């Protein structure tokens, strides 16, 4: 099995029954914002019959690092730079303490929380119950987030495949796969029939739409920094914003296809428009729902700044009552991997009147201070750990 290793790495038998994927690590960012992503954490956790929350939190406790667990987007991050070998060795400790039966060393165990608050490994091989060290910090995580009780049922291969597809639905490339699937079901389009997708842009139609929207979407006049800025009239960004406002039930796939149709899916201003049209006072609950779309469009630092600008308008202009909760909103964006340390630090360092007025910009950044402080402290802890290791 390519890429598979024995769960017990001390067992050299190539025919050993219990396998898991070899841990992969990907270091992102640089300087104070460096972090390590484990792309196949969920696959490893599945092989160990443990939630990825447990393995990721264990890494955090053992390595003394901040971690981010996002099951919705299948992202598991450990702050700091950690190579795959070090993480694999740390994982060995997790397996020894929280997976293997203490009696027979078989990994086919389930964690059972007793009424007294203890945690036992129930071995399906030898039948014995062996305790987990309740003093380990991970024990509290397990008690607060108990493993789901599995219902035994025989499933066909088709059902298993369907479940796997559902699990993969939250991956970063979900939007691309969905678009391709939708496109495959459509008849081939004639290159000369593209006007079927067009919008009535006559003066009367534009006036009617704008009157109906009552100025719901702010025009993004950003110093004319896009080459396709038009001299007066309705821009492609206006068309997109108006279309989203008129089609509130449109899915992320439909929004993305509309941006493609208007040939602005690669433009940074598109992110600011979409954010303003899609998000409202329920922003905290909405971020994970639209994360795949935003990731698909967020391809550079310029795009990320436009994303933040869009959220500034949602918070500062449309819903000023949300300003005190700016730190919570930024944390959700960070956990969904939509903003990076470097960009958010630059953003927080200086107010800007590009998206909102100067006073509102100052208020938003003032409310963001708890998040920015947390981020700085997390990075400082990582630096201290690196210095300790080099001594």
* Confidence band, pLDDT 50/70/90 cuts, at residue 175: low
Q: Decide if 349 is inside a domain.
A: yes
Query: Mean pLDDT over all residues of the chain?
Result: 81
DSSP calls for 129-150:
EEE--TTSHHHHHHHHSPPPPP
Q: What are the tens digits of pLDDT across the range 89-129?
A: 999 999 999 999 999 999 999 999 998 889 999 999 999 99
| Closest of 286, 220, 284, 222 to residue 248, by C-alpha | 286
Q: What are the tens digits of pLDDT across the range 9-27?
A: 998 888 888 999 999 999 9
The domain of 28 spans 4-105
N-terminal to C-terminal alpha carbon distance within the chain: 40
| Closest of 145, 140, 50 to residue 94, by C-alpha | 50
Per the listing, tokens 């459509």 go with 186
Q: How far apart are CA 95 and CA 97, in angstroms?
A: 6
Out of 81, 105, 129, pick the residue that ends a domain. Answer: 105
Q: How far apart are CA 250 and CA 181, in angstroms?
A: 17
Q: Decide if 290 is inside a domain.
A: yes
Torsion angle, CA of 380/381/383/386, rounded to 10 degrees?
A: 180
* Confidence band, pLDDT 50/70/90 cuts, at residue 336: confident
If asked whether residues 207 and 93 sit together in one domain, one would say no
Is 70 exceeded by the pLDDT of residue 379? Answer: no
Out of 85, 105, 125, pick the residue that ends a domain. Answer: 105
For 217-245, letters b (16+ CB in 10 Å) and e give bbebebeeebeeeeeeebbbbbbbbbbbb
How many CA within 13 A on the CB side of residue 31? 6
If asked whether residues 221 and 359 sit together in one domain, one would say yes
If asked whether residues 249 and 364 sit together in one domain, one would say yes
* Confidence band, pLDDT 50/70/90 cuts, at residue 377: confident
Q: Report the CATH number at residue 258.
A: 1.25.40.180
Is 50 exceeded by the pLDDT of residue 198? Answer: no
The secondary structure element, H or E, covering residue 244 is helix 236-246
If asked whether residues 227 and 344 sit together in one domain, one would say yes
Q: Report the CATH number at residue 96.
A: 3.30.30.170
Q: How far apart are CA 388 and CA 391, in angstroms?
A: 5
Judging by beta carbons within 10 Å of its beta carbon (0-12, 13-18, 19+), is residue 103 exposed, middle or buried? middle
| Closest of 220, 197, 332, 353 to residue 276, by C-alpha | 220
Out of 87, 105, 123, pick the residue that ends a domain. Answer: 105
Q: Lowest mean pLDDT: which of 162-166, 176-180, 338-342, 367-371? A: 162-166
Q: Decide if 190 is inside a domain.
A: no
The pTM of the full predicted model, rounded to 2 decimals, is: 0.52
Q: Decide if 132 is inside a domain.
A: no
Q: Decide if 139 is inside a domain.
A: no
Per the structure, the count of domains in the chain is 2
Q: How far apart are CA 5 and CA 179, in angstroms?
A: 35
**Cα-flanking dihedrals φ and ψ of residue 291, to 5°?**
-60, -40
The 3-class SS string of 42-104 reads: HHHHHHHCCCHHHHHHHHHHHHCCCEEEECCCCEEEEECCCCHHHHHHHHHHHHHHHCCCCCC
């Amino acid at each position: 099995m390519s890429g598979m290793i024995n769960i017990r790495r001390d067992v050299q038998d190539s025919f050993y029954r219990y396998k898991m994927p070899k841990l992969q690590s990907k270091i992102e960012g640089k300087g104070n914002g460096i972090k390590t992503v484990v792309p196949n954490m969920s696959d490893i956790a599945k092989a160990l019959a443990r939630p990825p929350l447990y393995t990721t939190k264990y890494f955090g406790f053992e390595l003394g690092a901040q971690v981010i667990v996002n099951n919705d987007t299948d992202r598991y991050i450990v702050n700091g730079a950690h190579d795959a070998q070090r993480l694999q060795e740390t994982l060995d400790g997790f397996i020894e303490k929280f997976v293997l039966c203490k009696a027979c060393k078989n990994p086919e165990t389930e964690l059972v929380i007793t009424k007294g608050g203890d945690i036992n490994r129930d071995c399906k091989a030898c039948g014995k119950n062996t305790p987990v060290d309740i003093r380990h910090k991970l024990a509290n995580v397990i008690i607060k987030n108990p493993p789901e009780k599995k219902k035994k049922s025989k499933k066909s291969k088709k059902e298993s495949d369907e479940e796997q597809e559902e699990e993969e639905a939250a991956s970063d490339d979900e939007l691309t796969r969905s678009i391709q699937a939708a496109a495959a079901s459509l008849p081939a389009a004639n290159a000369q029939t593209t006007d079927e997708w067009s919008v009535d842009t006559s003066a009367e139609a534009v006036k009617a739409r704008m009157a109906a929207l009552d100025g719901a979407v702010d025009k993004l006049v950003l110093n004319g920094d896009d080459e396709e800025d038009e001299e007066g009239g309705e821009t492609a960004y206006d068309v997109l914003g108006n279309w989203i406002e008129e089609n509130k039930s449109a899915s992320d796939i439909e929004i993305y296809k509309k941006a493609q149709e208007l040939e602005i899916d690669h433009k940074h201003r598109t992110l600011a428009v979409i954010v303003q049209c899609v998000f409202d006072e329920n922003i905290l609950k909405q971020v994970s729902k639209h994360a795949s779309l935003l990731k698909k469009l967020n391809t550079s630092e310029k795009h990320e700044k436009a994303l933040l600008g869009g959220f500034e308008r949602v918070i500062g202009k449309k819903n000023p009552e949300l300003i005190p909760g700016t730190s919570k909103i930024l944390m959700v964006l960070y956990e969904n991997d939509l903003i990076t340390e470097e960009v958010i630090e630059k953003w927080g360092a200086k107010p800007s009147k590009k998206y909102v007025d100067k006073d509102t910009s100052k208020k938003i950044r003032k409310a963001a201070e708890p998040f920015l402080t947390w981020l700085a402290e997390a990075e400082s802890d990582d630096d201290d750990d690196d210095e300790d290791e080099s001594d």
